[in-house]
Amino acid sequence: MSAKVSILVPIYNVSQFIERCAVSLFEQTFQDIEYIFVNDCTPDDSIDVLNKVIARYPNRQSQIKIINHTENKGIAFVRNNGIQNAKGIFIISVDGDDYIDENMVELMYSKALQANADIVVCDFLLEWENVTKHAIQNIGNSKEDFLKLVLSFNTSVGLCNKMFKREIYIDHNIKAIDGCNMGEDFMICSQLVYYSNKIAKIDSPLYHYIQTNNTSYTKNITKKSIKSVVEILNHLTLFFEEKTDYNSYREFLLKGKLRKKIEFFMFSNSNDWKFISSVFRETDEVDDLSFLSFNEKNVNFFIEKKYYFLLKIYKNIYYKLFNLIQKLKGR
């Protein structure tokens, strides 16, 4: 008999974190869980640490599957492999350097039944070494609202604080693009929301998103990462162009592309700026910039005017102020 919930965990360079993660999963108050750990040929001792934790939970061992890759495939392939092997009614993704509250699965599953929802989301905590910030997952008032928020990056687009009905993945063949290892969660989330019927939310922060592991999958922005996000956004545009309600979402896709282009300029090496300036030219159509933050508006001004030297100065000042604020906050 299939489990009610499958939890998918990618394993790559998380040896310092996987014990806390695994304990939080095996200590869940909800019992009917399938655990799938996908080892993407991690170069550290993450699997050894995980196996030691598993040995402490004999009652969970029959529920655990470890999939070992013979070579490093990247997070997109890992997510696809986990989804392909999952048998639960619902799927939750948990990154190996994060952890969850002991009642997260129980609360989310109960909420799904109570609301007859295809997707359940919750708030989450961003955790630095000495500081924790409560992040609110905004879903709007309808599925359409939520999708517009996701496409324009006005809410969290990650998979990890969300539970999705597995049949949506299967019925619509939703999967990441192999090789596109940054932004893959955004594409998957957008399509799952599009095909869902109802979304429910738990207002409590049940997921703990660790901000201090710089060696896991999604912490670095490089030219390769930028190309990955560009391919994903272009793929998603084609996905929506084939839909009869494309015009309802086109504006929000453009806003999302503009926001990402600004992010690329802000957080990439200046050697890549020529390439970045050539992508998402269609964002020139965006006239109303009120959705942008103060910082995003400033960066966009320098981009539009091609004041790249001034942008370098602005970035330098921004980073110095940002680092100073983090020190004052104790992060």
Q: What is the pLDDT of residues 207-246, one digit of tens each?
A: 999 987 554 434 457 899 999 999 999 999 999 999 999 9
The enclosing H or E element of 214 equals none
What is the token pair recorded at 147? 């999708």
Note the pLDDT of residue 321. 85
**189, 159 contact by CB (below 8 A):** yes
76-105 pLDDT, tens digit each: 999 999 999 999 999 999 999 999 999 999
**Rg, Å, the chain Cα set:** 20
Quick one: pLDDT at residue 226?
Answer: 94
Question: Which parts of the chain sit beneath pLDDT 50?
Answer: 215-219
CA dist 231 and 229 (Å) reads: 5
Report how far Cα 313 is from the mean position of its chain's Cα atoms. Answer: 31
Predicted local confidence at residue 216, as pLDDT = 43
Q: Are strands 33-39 and 90-93 parallel, antiparallel or unpaired?
A: unpaired
* Block residue for tokens 């990402």: 260
Do you know the residue count of the chain?
331
Give the whole-angstrom CA distance, residue 325 versus residue 331: 9
pLDDT for 326 equals 65
Note the pLDDT of residue 211.
Answer: 87
- Is the overall model pTM greater than 0.95, yes or no? no
| Cα(326)–Cα(44) distance, integer angstroms | 30
Report all structural domains of the chain as residue ranges with CATH numbers, in order of start: 5-210 (3.90.550.10), 223-329 (no CATH)
